[in-house]
Amino acid sequence: MTTATTTLRASLERLCEEYRPSRHAFFPALRGAPSSALRDPDVLGELYLRYQAAMHATRVMVYFLPHLDSPPLRARKLRIFIDDDGLQGGDTHHAQLARLFRRIGGRLPLADDEFGDLEPLARRLDPGTARFVEKVSDLYHRSLGPWCIVELVSDDWMRTLADGLAVHHPAVREEAYFAECFQGHVEERHGQEALALTELVLSARPQLLEETLAGAREMAQSLDGLWSSLESVLAAARAPAAAQRGA
């Protein structure tokens, strides 16, 4: 390994630990929320909208990643597109997530075809989620660091999200959105592939290290903001119940 790739790996490991999603207050709040809130169609719909919009942004912007333009690198990137967007006739992560939330009773605010260009989508979101979507749009085409950090921590948040929802909807782990990812270790594979591709790029162009790590940190901080946006949905749902108990 070169100095650049050694530094990359060590720095990303530290970032993953510092910003590990399961450490965020949203996830214990999800587990501990009143089940009545997690069965409310509008609460579920708002959680869906914010999370799906954020995931949509990361899927869209993978198509614009820089530095992966040689035929071998394009082929490796294509395999990630196939996993996410069902390019060989398979199911898409977007459709799986929508089905999951419909089955647990969510009233989904947007149809699938309304998740399109990121700029108009951001205008339909709360400020916190809009900032995340805008940050993904800005960062993903500039360096591979933001993509790396998202892929490296995605298995952690997927498992913790499944655990939290399962408290209120026990069958949720059987939904394809979670089951296929966990059985096939999809997110773990994507994380390792993102790291491997970035290491290849930095081996040839070590001058990109600083901007790669800067982008990774900025993206990790933005992910933290996304979880805070989701946590605010739960806080708003708890407020009427608390007021009713007080009355």
So what's the pLDDT on residue 85?
Answer: 66
* 192-244: pLDDT as tens digits: 999 999 999 999 999 999 999 999 999 999 999 999 999 999 999 987 655 45
Q: Using CA atoms, how far apart are residues 140 and 219, in angstroms rounded to an integer?
A: 9
- State the average pLDDT over residues 170-185: 92
Region for residue 105 given its phi and psi (left: phi exceeds 0; alpha: psi -120 to 50; beta: otherwise): left
Please tell me whether residue 59 adopts helix, strand or coil conformation. helix
Is CATH 3.40.50.720 what the domain over 35-239 is classified as, yes or no? Answer: no
Q: Is the pLDDT of residue 111 over 70?
A: yes
Token pair belonging to 28: 């214990």
Rounded to two decimals, the pTM is 0.93
Amino acid at 112: D
pLDDT > 70? residue 87: no
Asked whether residue 164 carries a pLDDT value surpassing 80, the answer given is yes
pLDDT > 90: what percent of the chain? 81
pLDDT at 246: 46
Q: Please give the Cα distance from 209 to 149 (Å, whole number).
A: 14
Phi, psi dihedrals of residue 87, rounded to the nearest 5°: -70, -10
